[in-house]
Amino acid sequence: MTETRSNQRTHVVLLFSLAVGMFGFAFALVPLYQVFCEITGLNGKTSGRPADPTAIPEVRASDREVTVQFLASVSNGMPWEFRPSTHQLKVRLGEIYTTDYYARNRAAQAVTGQAVPSVAPGYAAKYLHKVECFCFRQQHLEAGEDRHMPLRFYVSDDLPEEVHTLSLSYTLFKVPTTQAANSVANLASIQQ
């Protein structure tokens, strides 16, 4: 009987830890999912960090050219005008190009926005490297203010043969004021 009791206690402890562990696992799924998408380029996610331009090989494997299309959309409730300055570029693989997006705050008060990139076809996302991008941090515009936001990128030369056109689309989201307050702290920590 006492043996059963101690067995029971062990089982209860083990099962309870399993439940607590699974609660933690739900939260672990968040970074796991992000990392998984970033590594595989699934979901058209591009890297959230600037690429290192020195990583480009000196000698290019080919003179292949592909078209990169730029798209912009604005989510619900975001009062900004937002469009690419150039709609498409013919780019040579392994060469850095600079373009920009134009944003203007049409609201009567200051608004913070965050652009979220997505690449189609999704599996090509990991070949598009951004050296500099306005999407790396939140953008803040005063009422009526406008800005040309720069984007520097290159397409690496191991891009699969069948890809001739890449679409880079940004969706601009309004950052709620509570989160915008936090973002000042975020920004500070990034710049350090």
Partner 1 sequence: MVTRAEDVTPQRYPLREFLSRWLLTTNHKEIGTLYLWLSFTLFFIAGAMAMVIRLELFQPGIQFAEPLFYNQMVTMHGLLMVFGVVMPGFVGLANWQIPLMIGAPDMALPRLNNFSFWILPFAFGLLISTLFMEGGAPNFGWTFYAPLSTTYGPPSTDFFILGVHMMGISSVLGAINIIVTIFNLRTPGMTLMKMPLFVWTWLITAFLLIMVMPVLAGVVTMMLTDRHFGTSFFSAAGGGDPVMFQHIFWFFGHPEVYILILPGFGIASQIIPTFSRKKLFGYHSMVYATIAIALLSFVVWGHHMFTTGMPVVGELFFMYATMLIAVPTGVKVFNWVATMWRGSITFETPMLFAIGFVILFTIGGFSGLMLALVPADFQYHDTFFVVAHFHYVLYPGAIFGTMAAVYYWIPKWTGHMYDERLGKIHFWTAIIAVNLTFFPMHFTGLAGMPRRIVDYSLQFADFNMVSSIGAGLLGMTQVLFLYIVIKTIRGGDPASTRVWEGADGLEWTVPSPAPHHTFETPPPFPPIMDKDEGTPLNE
Task: Write each residue from 31 to 60 as x if it is in contact with partner 1 (CB under 8 A), else as -, in one continuous string.
Answer: --xx-------xxx---x------------
Cβ count within 10 A of residue 34: 13
Question: 113, exposed or middle or buried, with CB in 10 Å at 0-12, 13-18, 19+?
Answer: buried
Window contacting partner 1 (CB under 8 A); options: 51-59, 97-105, 146-154, 175-183: 175-183
Bridge partners of residue 88, in order along the sequence: 69
**Residue carrying the six token digits 């595989």:** 40
7 binds partner 1 (CB under 8 A): yes
Window contacting partner 1 (CB under 8 A); options: 57-65, 79-87, 102-110, 174-182: 174-182
**If DSSP codes are grouped into helix, strand and coil, which group holds residue 185?**
helix
Between CA 184 and CA 24 the distance in angstroms is 29
Contact partners, residue 178, CB within 8 Å, separation at least 6: none
Task: Write each residue from 57 to 86 as x if it is in contact with partner 1 (CB under 8 A), else as -, in one continuous string.
Answer: ------------------x-----------
Least distance from partner 1 to the Cβ atom of residue 42, Å: 5
Residues that bind partner 1 (CB under 8 A): 4, 7-8, 11-12, 15-16, 18-27, 29-30, 33-34, 42-44, 48, 75, 113-114, 116, 122-123, 171, 173-176, 178-179, 181-182
